[in-house]
Amino acid sequence: MSLISKIATNTFWQVFGKILGTILGLVTVGLMTRYLGQAGFGYYTTIVSFLQFFGVITDFGLQMTATKALARPGANENKIISNIFTLRLASAIVFLGGAAIICWFLPYPMIVKQGIAIGSLSFVFISLQSVLISVFQKNMSMAKVAWAEIWGRLILLGGVYSAITGKFGLLYIIMAVVVANLVNWAILHYRSRKYVKVRLAFDWTYWLEIWHASWPLAITISLSLVYFRADTLILSFFRPASEVGIYGASYKVLEVLIQFPYLFLGVILPLLSQFFVTDKKIFQAILQKSFDFLMIIALPMIFAIWALGDKVMTVVAGSDFAVSGDILKILIVAAGAIYVSSLFGYTIVACELQKKMIKFYLINAVISLILYLIFIPMYSYWGAAVLTVLTELVIMFSSLYILKKHVQISLKFKVAGKALAASAIMLLVLWLLNNQGLFTLMIIGGIVYFGVLYMLRGVSKSMIREIVKYRS
């Protein structure tokens, strides 16, 4: 099987799993918003955002470090994964346990504090999942990850449905989230035994080596929290729960939309790391193809949401959350920036230039926090959405600057330009047919976009054959 075919196969399974998981996730969110209402979903959003803040800190850059370490020739996979697994478990206990304690000293309603305490277990399992995903990325066996996520989503959907029919309330839903992530982790752990034997490992010398490699990522990830998660937390302190719920519904869709590039780039990262050292020409080719592919996906997503955002949020969350569609139309620009900046960010890691980005993350974090504290109390979710876009654009251009300065990358925008033209034509068609239903418009939009893109030769027969063809 050719390298591109392997990437395509794994990307297919990730896309398949993500599409099915997204459908299940959106159905689940729809049930929750309709059951909990704006205020209740605001409480749920506050719980999850608070835990996500601490959950991301537990990463310490360990997932990317694991992926890079496993990509090295002759890597001792059992040693790498066992030590990083143990480190991740320890950091999860410290930070998520701390979150469960800290919340009791904050001016949150009792149900939010109880939800954070219960939900902290869920994020422990999530943090352990990501370590195991590195194993499947290395062995290009992402189908197993996809099915584990689907099972977790099904269990969560069942739990939410039973909470609604039994009128058990918000805390029961949080417990369902815990069980779903426990099952997801258990499946991945069982499946990973084919490749590695994961045990608790305390190799202090190797821990120091891991920390030396991961600390720049740990700092940048922690700083990124300020501008990517602090908006919702600040909103929860200064505005009513109903407004947090409205913003949270649109943000939930944003989170769904930005998951794909990270899954795709998880497969690409080992290749970028390898060929940056061994063959700069192949490295540049992989970077260019990845950029083209992400542009083909991101640009129509942005234009489609501009046309269909109101319909999307009404279908997903219900008529009470229709205003979330206008917020989503702003946030979708941030999603597009994340697609590009994630590629640049992973490339920076592959080139071991993480330290060069720290000052940009620090400046962005400080400025965004100041702006959040000024404008969110005044303009609520509108201020939060606009500032989210600006901060993501800053990181995107900063990452590009670092790569151009230190790696001298050269990106061509021929495919991106064709994707932009096809997206614009799709947008026009969607506006003209706006009286149709959402799913009809999605089908029409997809046909128009890919049809025009094919006619513009943004994708070619040879590219399609290369993606689907298996070679020895």
Question: Which residues are CB-neighbours of 209 under 8 A, at least 6 positions away?
Answer: none
Question: Which residues are CB-neighbours of 448 under 8 A, at least 6 positions away?
Answer: 422, 425, 426, 429
- Widest Cα–Cα separation across the chain: 64
Q: Which domain holds residue 141?
A: 3-412
If one counts the domains in the chain, the total is 2
Q: Which of 365, 393, 412 is the last residue of a domain?
A: 412
Distance CA(130)–CA(261), nearest Å, equals: 15
Q: Which of 412, 436, 455 is the last residue of a domain?
A: 412
Residue 188 shares a structural domain with residue 276: yes
Query: ∠ CA 354-122-53 to the nearest 5 degrees?
Result: 40
Residue 251 shares a structural domain with residue 228: yes
Question: Side-chain half-sphere of 161: how many Cα atoms within 13 Å?
Answer: 10
CB atoms within 10 A of CB 408: 9
Residue 347 shares a structural domain with residue 282: yes
Tens-digit pLDDT profile for the chain (472 aa)?
Answer: 455 555 556 666 666 777 787 788 889 999 999 999 999 999 999 999 899 888 877 766 666 666 666 666 666 777 778 888 888 888 889 889 999 999 999 989 999 999 999 999 998 998 888 778 777 776 667 777 888 888 999 999 999 999 999 999 999 999 999 999 999 999 988 888 888 787 887 877 877 877 777 777 677 777 776 667 789 989 999 999 999 999 999 998 888 888 878 777 877 877 888 888 888 888 998 899 999 999 999 999 999 999 999 999 999 999 889 899 999 999 999 999 999 999 999 899 888 888 888 889 889 888 998 999 999 999 999 999 999 999 999 999 999 999 999 988 889 999 999 999 999 999 999 999 989 999 999 999 999 999 999 999 877 655 545 444 433 3
Residue 138 shares a structural domain with residue 258: yes
Residue 335 shares a structural domain with residue 433: no
CB atoms within 10 A of CB 96: 23
Distance CA(295)–CA(303), nearest Å, equals: 12
Give yes or no for a contact between 389 and 337, defined as CB atoms under 8 angstroms apart: yes
